Amino acid sequence: MQEQVIDTSDVLHDRHPPGDLAIWIFILAELSVFAVFFAAYAFTRMNNVELFNEFQQHLDRQSALLNTLTLITSSYFVVRAVAAIKENNHKLCVNWLLAAISMGFLFVVIKSAEYAHHFGEGINLSTNTFYMFYLSLTFFHFMHVIMGMVILGAVAIKAKNGGYSDIEHTGVETGASYWHMVDLVWLILFPLVYVMR
Amino acid sequence: MNNKVMGVRRCTWVYLVLMFFSFITYFVGRLELSGLTISLFVLLLALIKGQLVGAYFMGLGRLRGLWRWPVFIWLFIPGTLISIAFYLSA
């Protein structure tokens, strides 16, 4: 008798988020921390509007745009990686993941250049309230980008070794969800810190 | 056309919208536009982008029940607080 294989992943996704439930608890905790940071930035700005507006002008918006585009593009690549593994195409999945990691690496390079420029000018956490928020917020996010790259790297290695299939690809979705969270946070951080005045 | 191909195609459109909105945000900054209306407009674009990432890239938009909403709620709370803070400082 011919055995019929049914892809249950989409059915399961009707009520449960993609990936491991534990990563979603982690994502919600991380998002909550960033929400507090964003609110703290906005309410501190209330009493220091001129200071925030003045020093915001010193930031490199072009780098921030490039960073936004790299993160959005890497997120899209991760979407393609998940779609590839759902088609049982391991090689394509690995390629999309590597492309996403490369974009993450580009983000790290651009952001590091920005930090080098600021530190070269003698700017640090105690320069003023604006830079305290700018450096701590962006560096906290920067660390999440690095962690996301490590996670995607681990997923890519397992995918290369045939550890995922069209039936079982929870790990790929787990890594993807974390990476999208990193992108999501930057989408708010970019206008808030670099543009809104 | 199967659902997976449709899903990827939809995400490609979302990707293009996200890029477009990012360029608008950048040009608002580059032109040094300021004020409450501009700030809220830029914030609104960011919230829409966030919701698109949550619904399509994260795949929460196709869920039923509670898990459909965490990203929306996350965007709503800081979005509201940021709006209030900018309103009060305008």
Whether residue A87 and residue B4 make contact (CB cut-off 8 A), yes or no, is: yes
Q: Is the pLDDT of residue B3 over 90?
A: no
Q: Is the pLDDT of residue A126 over 80?
A: yes
Q: Is the pLDDT of residue A191 over 80?
A: yes
| A43 Cβ under 8 Å from any chain B Cβ | yes
Whether residue A187 and residue B3 make contact (CB cut-off 8 A), yes or no, is: no
Q: Is the pLDDT of residue A185 over 50?
A: yes
Closest among B51, B62, B7 to A13, alpha carbons compared: B62
Confidence band of A2 (pLDDT split at 50, 70, 90): very low
Residues A147, A108: contact at Cβ < 8 Å?
Answer: no
Whether residue A80 and residue B22 make contact (CB cut-off 8 A), yes or no, is: no
| A196 Cβ under 8 Å from any chain B Cβ | yes
**CA of A19: which chain B residue's CA is closest?**
B58
Residue identified by tokens 């930031």 is A59
| B50 Cβ under 8 Å from any chain A Cβ | yes
Whether residue B42 and residue A16 make contact (CB cut-off 8 A), yes or no, is: no
Whether residue A187 and residue B54 make contact (CB cut-off 8 A), yes or no, is: no
| A72 Cβ under 8 Å from any chain B Cβ | yes
Residue identified by tokens 């004020």 is B35
Q: Is the pLDDT of residue A23 over 60?
A: yes
pLDDT at residue A4, as a whole number: 45
Confidence band of A15 (pLDDT split at 50, 70, 90): confident
Residues A180, A156: contact at Cβ < 8 Å?
Answer: no
Q: A65 vs chain B: nearest CA distance in angstroms?
A: 6
pLDDT at residue A13, as a whole number: 55
| B23 Cβ under 8 Å from any chain A Cβ | yes
**Per-residue CA distances from A68 to A53, A64, B13, B25 (Å):** 21, 6, 17, 10
Domains of chain A (ranges, CATH numbers) = 62-195 (1.20.120.80)
pLDDT tens string A60-114: 999 999 999 999 999 999 999 999 999 999 999 999 999 999 999 999 999 999 9
pLDDT at residue B7, as a whole number: 87
Confidence band of B6 (pLDDT split at 50, 70, 90): confident
